[in-house]
Amino acid sequence: MTSVASLLLCALVLGGCAMRRGPVEQRSTQGPTSQQMLNFRVLAQSGREPTFEEKRQWDNQVEEKISAYLRTHPDKASSLDVSTFRLVRQVTVGMDKEQVLILLGAPLTVSGDQGQMEKIARSYWPVIKGNATEVWVYPLGWNMFFAGQKLVDITQYVPAPS
């Protein structure tokens, strides 16, 4: 991406953020992509976007992990949502914990406490309550709710800018 295009994209994103008045609160069947998490982590650690080489190395590492996972889980290799896992690399409801770890890495926090999960789920708790046994919290307000090994719900909460 050229520097002019990067600046334009940055301006559009910042303009959109400035126009946003309230918090973002959503429940979804799809979460972040592994690329979004890579971008966030590099930006948070170094204040810049990942370099081409960093993206290439990351891509190779994730592809190796996905391939190894699918070799050991042949039932998942033939499932309908394998393209979301392998190609799009986006977390979706129905994935297992190992798939989420491969795509997003380790969560910031993990909790099995119902009171903590209620706070994290916010207005979606009545729907999630009784289904989730654990929540994994990720950057950018993403929360992954699990029932045992299976991802059963995804929420995101980003507070309004100050």
Lowest-confidence segment of 12-21, 60-69, 98-107 by average pLDDT: 12-21
pLDDT, position 79: 84
Exposure class string for 43-52: b at 16+ Cβ within 10 A, else e = eeeeeeebee
pLDDT, position 161: 87
pLDDT, position 36: 96
pLDDT, position 20: 54
Residue 126: pLDDT over 90: yes
Residue 2: pLDDT over 60: no
Percent share of the chain, pLDDT over 90:
79
Tell me phi and psi for residue 128, to 5 degrees: -85, -35
Please state the length of the chain: 162
pLDDT, position 41: 94
Residue 15: pLDDT over 50: no
Q: For the chain, what percentages of helix, strand and coil (3-state, to nearest 5) are there?
A: 55, 20, 25
